[in-house]
Amino acid sequence: MAQLRQDYSRFTERDAEILVVGPDNMDAFAAYWKKEALPFVGLADPDHTVADLYGQQVKLLKLGRLPALMVIDKQGQIRFKHYGNSMSDIVSNSDLLAVLDEINADDKVAA
């Protein structure tokens, strides 16, 4: 999440918002958000309701929930998704920013 915080303004410049869904309960999640001063939205999902809806895998031998990332457009369509194979399998910010640039270009052409 540190990399997302580092480039948060670059995401918002592209009219994007970041939502991080995590397995902790609401109190633990809120404490972490406050401690780390994260500028984006966090959603506690201890019962895995949201994670299950989006197909995020849980592998106990790999320390719990594996990374999953989706870019969802303003119409609610998933435009990009990545399911990590390990805890370190995370899409780079530069790749995500390129996806957002492509979506924004597509939206301008469609308008």
Domain boundaries, the chain: 2-103
Q: What sign results for the dihedral spanned by CA atoms 68, 73, 78, 79?
A: negative
Q: What is the pLDDT of residues 50-100, one digit of tens each?
A: 988 888 876 655 566 788 899 999 889 999 999 888 888 899 999 999 999
Neighbours of 58 (CB within 10 A): 13
For residue 91, the model assigns a pLDDT of 93
For residue 59, the model assigns a pLDDT of 62
Q: Which helix (H) or strand (E) holds 32?
A: helix 26-36
Task: Give the count of alpha carbons within 13 A of 85, CB side only.
Answer: 0
Q: What does the pLDDT average to over 27-51?
A: 92
Say which range, 6-10, 51-55, 75-79, 107-111, has the weakest mean pLDDT.
Answer: 107-111
Domain 2-103 - what CATH class? alpha beta
For residue 80, the model assigns a pLDDT of 94
For residue 111, the model assigns a pLDDT of 66
The structure tokens listed for 9 are 């303004």
Q: What does the pLDDT average to over 23-39?
A: 92
- Share of residues in the chain with pLDDT > 90 (%): 58
